Structure 1
């Protein structure tokens, strides 16, 4: 058998999940005494005794090596297909694998599919490797109740929203990826070494993937079993060599939301955790790598030519994020802009008439009334919860009640009524009278001035270093304020912190929002972070606070864009810590009247971020997560 020099091709800025597999292969190869190294591309010349292991879906889209040079070495190129069958990535990889002498896959079904198109398709059996072992097998308390990492789906969103009210005292993490592009995975996914570390701290790995595959990703499954995170899946099965109920837990479809809260502390998870680890340790990955080395040697001993014909060129993935603003002015945009201007003038006339009816000149300040609870003066809050109130008398008390259930942090509640006409101020005053032990400052401004100006007034009155923006019709779970403040404490450079939000419709939790981690470039498509966030007061003041020219829910988007423009970032807590009331109408509906004008205002506030190119901030490392 020929002596193999194994060269694993890992381009710059690789996909983390691919990098993790490559790292395990090279570590095991070296433990077997093989000359193995990582290089970033197939070299222009070599000694003829190198065998190259490539991931087709990554390599052929990014190689700088000419096709002729690849064909020259094709008898010594082994392809490792990691994309699951039935996906576009798998189809692309299967086509490009025609350039490879042999091709490997991690699932038997994928090997069968590849065999229909390739003469030498084989299974690479994963198993225990120290490279993926961040636990070590020593029993200890696991800080994360459950972990979910995968594609964003309606099923996963609904299940986690439903479980959120019952698991606020626990710490759990949900990391979603909006699409399967390289850029999205690198920015948002929890994969590779970061996934291994997270699994070692988690009691349960929840699988709610609705992809075509009927089995859990082999890499993720083996990593979980090595690191003691018990796999719980609603639809898909674990490794074919593991038993449901003994090494992983399968649930009937529809059960996950009801059972998850109980599963995180279930006593039976301990034996299942240990059984899964013992099983995977009995199946060392070194055996799979040993087989890889054998047929790599076969490739050197028997350099059969690889016949390539009609192979489509690999699509080079664009990593830039296009802007989401209107790129042309058509009839709809012109009509919307005209409607928006008329609406603005009517609002201005209404406010002027209101002043005149009260005997005020245009420049006279609005009459202001303030009241406070007995406990307000002596409070020393770490968080000021600021609530802008305008005609929410029927729901504002529920929002305030949710704050009073907060644990682990000192807070104050600042409410400013912005000229409500439905008696909202009196409702809150009665609520404050009934809660004398809650530090509350209630402000009544007779003349309506808008959301941004009201928030600015409240921020100026706030005594705490952190501001939590709470709309009067939403609410928080008890751990929300403490967890977000902890995220800001842990990341002193973060301008604000935010979490997942459970959306509630007619009393039922139905979905999640604010699901993606901080990504300045994604703001180019539009806002994806809700206003319900905790802001560092000094950071907001340094930026000039909320822009009073922005309306219809774009106030926060414009502020996030200015933060990104200034080089700032946000801390993301991947757990649902608050809830949002969905109704048949929304303030965001009004913004659709004239998106063109609103986008132009955002572009003016963040010209570099919104320029017609990828902004430099998007290449920065992710901010720490709470």
Structure 2
């Protein structure tokens, strides 16, 4: 029986799934199994995973389901798994080689922890590094339940290792929280897992999280317009708090990362990429006046534009792009 079950839900992930699988196979910690859940893909995702299963034997398993969303895929993968610890890796992200070794050691050392998570380095949809990390100042510690209920905490599914006993006790991911109009199943899951015990945090970015909406769009940008109505009733009933801060922060997150991409491009002298990133940020949030100013900055002379972007770019490189 493997110590860790790595569960990878995949929907039309042919462009990225091989890199994701390679990053797991190349781990310094090797006591794991991989369960890849094909969520009704219509591209070559299934064929690619089948080839890995042939090459790796029983270590890689393919599970198929009708398109049901990532929450259902993670739960389905967990049902087919046997590991003491569960890792839910998205099919467009990659781990650095010591990811499992470092996170397993933390859970082994403290049986009270329900999960451990790490910081994440950001890359664009083509895998180009953005020279920044996800977790910024003020978020660089394991959250309390109050913090999870009142602030959108920068934990990515790909960055966490979960104790199976806690996963089973809390009921796993809520399958009904699915679809592009919601996508709050991860926030809900962190809250439920925090009820099972404290979290551990590793400041080192051991995962590369791919921003799937720039420059190429690998996924449909979620529409959170219905999220407040659905999540509000749940949080009010269970915890007596409003979902508005979490929903608003999640809505702002893509805009913030696009701004980070644009500022880096402007600092590097790539006006075309900067202009495209700021333009996309404006489409995501047309009421964010600062991004109009940034977009106009791309028409200034190079030196002036770079000087004006220097302070913002340095702040972005220090981390916290998710909270820009």
State the TM-score, normalizing by the size of structure 1. Answer: 0.35
Shift of 1:394: 1.4
Shift of 1:495: 1.1
Q: Any idea what SS the aligned residue of 2:97 has? A: coil
- Alignment-derived partner of residue 528 in structure 1: 154
- Alignment-derived partner of residue 36 in structure 1: none
Shift of 1:435: 3.1
Bigger relative contact order (CA 8 A; separation at least 6):
2
Pick the aligned partner of 2:63 from 416, 421, 443: 443
- Gaps (5+ residues) in structure 2? 245-324
Shift of 1:430: 1.6
Pick the aligned partner of 1:404 from 22, 25, 34: 25
1:483/1:412 CA distance change after superposition, 3 Å:
same
Cα distance in 2 for residues equivalent to 1:490 and 1:588: 40
After superposition, where does 1:221-620 map in structure 2 within 5 Å? 380-436=1-57, 439-445=59-65, 447-505=66-124, 506-510=126-130, 511-515=132-136, 516-519=140-143, 520-523=145-148, 524-532=150-158, 533-551=160-178, 552-564=182-194, 566=195, 568-584=197-213, 585=217, 589-600=221-232, 602-604=234-236, 606-607=238-239
Shift of 1:606: 4.3
**Aligned-residue CA RMSD (Å):** 2.4
Q: Any idea what SS the aligned residue of 1:417 has? A: strand
- Gaps (5+ residues) in structure 1? 1-379, 613-626
1:294-333 CA-to-partner distances (Å, cap 9, x unmatched) read: xxxxxxxxxxxxxxxxxxxxxxxxxxxxxxxxxxxxxxxx
Shift of 1:588: 8.7
Task: Answer 1 or 2: which has greater helix percent.
Answer: 2
Shift of 1:586: 7.5
1:388/1:479 CA distance change after superposition, 3 Å:
same
1:396/1:586 CA distance change after superposition, 3 Å:
closer
1:188-227 CA-to-partner distances (Å, cap 9, x unmatched) read: xxxxxxxxxxxxxxxxxxxxxxxxxxxxxxxxxxxxxxxx
1:455/1:569 CA distance change after superposition, 3 Å:
same
Count of residues paired in the alignment: 230
Shift of 1:427: 1.7
Q: Any idea what SS the aligned residue of 1:550 has? A: coil
Q: Any idea what SS the aligned residue of 1:478 has? A: coil
Cα distance in 2 for residues equivalent to 1:578 and 1:480: 7
Q: Is the radius of gyration larger for structure 1 or structure 2?
A: 1
- Are 2:19 and 2:94, in contact at CA under 8 Å, matched by a contact in 1? yes
1:428/1:409 CA distance change after superposition, 3 Å:
closer
Shift of 1:514: 4.1
1:115-143 CA-to-partner distances (Å, cap 9, x unmatched) read: xxxxxxxxxxxxxxxxxxxxxxxxxxxxx
- Are 2:232 and 2:242, in contact at CA under 8 Å, matched by a contact in 1? no
Q: Any idea what SS the aligned residue of 2:51 has? A: helix
1:400/1:601 CA distance change after superposition, 3 Å:
farther
Cα distance in 2 for residues equivalent to 1:587 and 1:606: 32
State the TM-score, normalizing by the size of structure 2. Answer: 0.65
- Are 1:562 and 1:605, in contact at CA under 8 Å, matched by a contact in 2? no
- Are 1:514 and 1:530, in contact at CA under 8 Å, matched by a contact in 2? no
After superposition, where does 1:21-420 map in structure 2 within 5 Å? 380-420=1-41
Cα distance in 2 for residues equivalent to 1:408 and 1:590: 34
Cα distance in 2 for residues equivalent to 1:608 and 1:409: 43
